[in-house]
Structures are given as structure tokens and as C-alpha cells.
Copies of this chain bind each other. A is one copy, B any other.
Amino acid sequence: MTTRYERYADEIAELIRSQALRAGDRLPSVRQASASRGISPSTVFEAYYLLEARGLIEARARSGYYVKATMATPSWAPTMPRDATEVAISDLVFQVLGSSGRPDLVPLGSAFPSPALFPLATLARHLGQGMRALPPERLVQDLAPGNDDLRRQIVRRYGIDGIPVAPDEIVMTNGAMEALGLCLQAVTEPGDVVAVESPTFYAALQALERLKLRALEVPTDARDGVDLDALAGLLARHRVKACWFMPSFQNPLGALMPQAKRQALIDLLARHEVPLIEDDVYAELHADARKPLPAKAFDRAGLVMHCGSFSKCLAPGYRVGWVAAGRFAQRVERLRLMSSLSPALPSQQAVAVYLAEGGYDRHLRRLRRRLADSRRAMAAAVRQHFPVGTRVHEPQGGYLVWVELPPSVDALELHRRALVQGISVAPGPLFSPTAGFAHCIRLNHGHVDDPRIDGAVQTLGALAHAMA
């Protein structure tokens, strides 16, 4: 039996779900609600607490309760193009990243977490010892398939998650970036159409641009990812040659696609025989106790190319990535041999030894805790310091937070003003081939030891206030 405050909370949740109450809307004050509904103030309080715990509303200091940003599609759907577009994002990306790469900047715009989060000393030891122990002939033999121990460790980890993957399916790559690009090339020709999330990681757009592919933007919700109805419509109207999606902790939204929706996505793609390039580089950075099953887990047709990496969870800069490439494994492997021959063997050996020695899961638990703390702190700081009308979605993994500013704030201008203050941000237009998301920014909360973060968020908030 539900209590009175639970029933009241459910009513409000339904209003939010139906968009009668929208992200950023202020809830009635406790006194108003109590008076208008004839319920006690404490019942209203209990209901609001419950809704806050469910992540649907948030308290703002001295201002009351607001519907939390869910980054639902409608807020930017009007700018969505209906057709596939040529991609020419790189100049903007390099211009912004070029100016943002200075080490003296507070790295809120960075795509990387702090390297201090990782067991670098242990890895360095395994590098030296691992390479001393490796028979010299392996330095040639391992070039083609990759380090065999490491491939078996990766297969084992898939197995533990209940995902059947054969060692032959694993192609080792120079980071996930190379894996993703090779997958793209394996299933497309120049001019082909590829579906991407909107917004999507700029590196995906750059890969499309490099391979002269056209992007088809699929509306994407910050809570549960790609809009499947929209995708179904696009698949019916366009000859889509691949989808490049990130079901877990999507960059930049942080969206986490629910399991049932992953199944539906896989079914939809199987019906259309469309390969899925699954970017899953944040897989290990989940806030919940359980790692979300990748879409790959639901694939029966061999259409999913699941791309992973140790760069974001263990060994930054080592450039150890891979893809479990399903029916495309041989094609991807050959493309890799033809373009870069092999990823570095010392890096693979160091990670293989690290995994064999144990301690990886302990490291991951600690890493997740630290990212959960900094994620909460970042979201709270944005809520505190940013102007009214700002929507921040607190994702359930990764180290990136997507912030929708009031529409009057130009994110590129904010990026420029922040630079002057010694702060980098990733402005929204980086994440769209059509320069959308002009009032959005992506913030990085992965630099957990950087004492400048709090002040930088406060400064950023002040800049946004001045522009709102």
C-alpha cells in the first residue's frame, strides 16, 4: 500500500513524465502545495524528498524545488535536421581544442580524467618486467593478432559479464579511437550515411568527416539515449550503413540506455541489417553497483562491433583499445594491418600482466567511488552557481556532465570568456555537425585532485550569469 506522500510524489512524477512540468520549472512551495492540496507540509516535504532521491527534482539554495534537467529531446529538437549532412566540424574542433589544451587551464573542457586516478607506478613496473619476460620473437609474432594473453583476459571479462565472445573476434587497436574508425571504414564507402546520436562525441563526427561519410542525427535523450521511434523512422527513409552509438554514459550527455531499450535497439537494427558500432569506453565507470550490459550482449546477428579501451579506466596514454567485431572481425583486422600494422606491444604486455596479477577490480571500485563523489560535487556546484534556467543532468557514470544554459547564453562565447579566465569548457556546437546545442556546454569532473575546480565552476557560473 502506498502512503499519501508516495501518491503525491507519483502524481508529480507523472506530470514530469508527460512534460506538463518541464525541466527547470519551479515546483509549488511547500506552503502553497500544502494549502492547495489540503495535505500537511510534512507530507509535501516527504514527497519532495522522494522525488529528489529519484533524481526527478532538485533543491536550489534559497529558491525552492525545481524539476531537474532530463535533457529530454524537445528542448533541442527544433534544430534537428531531417536529412543526412556532410560533416565539416574539424576546423571548429581543432580551434577549440587547440586553445583549450594549455596545461595551465582548469581542464573543465577536457575529454580525459586526471591521470592521477590510475595505478601508474604499478603499470610502469609491469612495463619493464613484462617486456623483460617476453620472448623476443613475440615482438614480431604478436604484431598481427595482438598480445594473446591480453586478448584472452578481455574475452574472460566478457565471459564474466555473460557475453559470449570468441578470441578471434577481438582485434587489438591503438586505443578505442582507432577501433571505432576501423569499424566505420569496414562497413562504409565514401558518401554513405551513418546515424549518430545528437549531440554526439566530436571525435565520431571527425571520423565521419575523415572518411567522407554523411551524418544522420538521431534525437537523443540525456536520460535513456537514442530515440528509437525517431531512429526507426530514419532507418525507413534512409539507407543507413551503420550506427555509431554510445549506450552507456554517452559522451557528452551521460545518457544510460536501459536494458530493455538496448534489446529493442538491437532488434530494430537486426531487422534492417544495420551494423552497430558500440562505443563503450566508459563501461567500467558506472555509478551503480552493476556494470550495464553492452548492446553487444543482445546481439545474435554478429552486427555489433563493441569497442572498448583501457585508456579511461586503467592506463591513460598506453593506447590499448580493442573491438569485439562480430562478423566484421576479419575485415577490421585487415584494415588495421593495412593502416597501422599493430598497436604497441609493450603497452599491451603491461596491461596483460596487470590484469593477470589481480587488483584491477579493486582499482575500479575505488575509481568509481571517486568519480561518484566528484560527479555529485560538480552537479551541485553548477546548480549553485549557474543562472536560473540552467539544466544540469547528473549522469550515472563516466566523468562528463552536460549543462544546458539559458538559451540566451552562447556557449562558444562562454568558452572564449572562460579561456580568458584560465578555464576550458567544451561548447555544445562541437557535438553536432549542424552547430546545434549553441547554449550547452560539457564539463569534466574527472580531475578530482585539482583544487581549482570549485573556483572555476563558480567563475563559469558568474560568466554565464553575465551573459544570460
B-binding residues in A (CB < 8 A):
90, 94, 101, 103, 110, 112, 114-116, 118, 120-121, 123-125, 127-129, 131-132, 136-144, 173-175, 177-178, 181, 185, 190, 203, 206-207, 209-210, 212, 316-320, 334-335, 337-347, 350
Q: Is the CB of A340 within 8 A of B340?
A: yes
Chain B residue nearest to A98 in the complex (CB): B144
The list of the 8 closest CB pairs from A to B, nearest first, reads A128-B128, A139-B317, A344-B344, A124-B131, A317-B345, A115-B136, A178-B340, A319-B344
A89: min CB distance to chain B, Å: 10
Chain B residue nearest to A132 in the complex (CB): B124
Question: Complex formed: what's the CA distance from A209 to B185 in Å?
Answer: 13
Contact of A140 among B173, B316, B338, B344 (CB under 8 A): B316
A130: min CB distance to chain B, Å: 8
A235: min CB distance to chain B, Å: 26
Q: Is the CB of A319 within 8 A of B339?
A: no
A162: min CB distance to chain B, Å: 31
Contact of A174 among B118, B131, B138, B174 (CB under 8 A): B174
Give chain B residues whose Cβ lies under 8 Å from the Cβ of A90: 334, 338
Q: Is the CB of B115 within 8 A of A137?
A: yes
Q: Is the CB of A317 within 8 A of B140?
A: yes
A451: min CB distance to chain B, Å: 14
Q: Is the CB of B345 within 8 A of A318?
A: yes
Question: Complex formed: what's the CA distance from A128 to B347 in Å?
Answer: 11
Chain B residue nearest to A125 in the complex (CB): B128
| Seed contacts A177-B341, A185-B210; 11 additional CB < 8 Å A-B pairs | A90-B334, A90-B338, A115-B136, A115-B140, A118-B136, A124-B129, A127-B346, A128-B129, A142-B317, A181-B340, A320-B344
Contact of A343 among B114, B209, B335, B344 (CB under 8 A): B344
Chain B residue nearest to A176 in the complex (CB): B341
Give chain B residues whose Cβ lies under 8 Å from the Cβ of A174: 174, 319, 340-341, 343-344
Q: Is the CB of B344 within 8 A of A318?
A: yes
Give chain B residues whose Cβ lies under 8 Å from the Cβ of A94: 334, 337
Contact of A210 among B136, B190, B203, B338 (CB under 8 A): B338
A127: min CB distance to chain B, Å: 4
Q: Is the CB of B143 within 8 A of A317?
A: yes
Chain B residue nearest to A206 in the complex (CB): B338
Q: Is the CB of B319 within 8 A of A342?
A: yes
Q: Is the CB of A344 within 8 A of B341?
A: no
Q: Is the CB of B137 within 8 A of A120?
A: no
Q: Is the CB of B120 within 8 A of A136?
A: yes
Question: Complex formed: what's the CA distance from A136 to B317 in Å?
Answer: 10
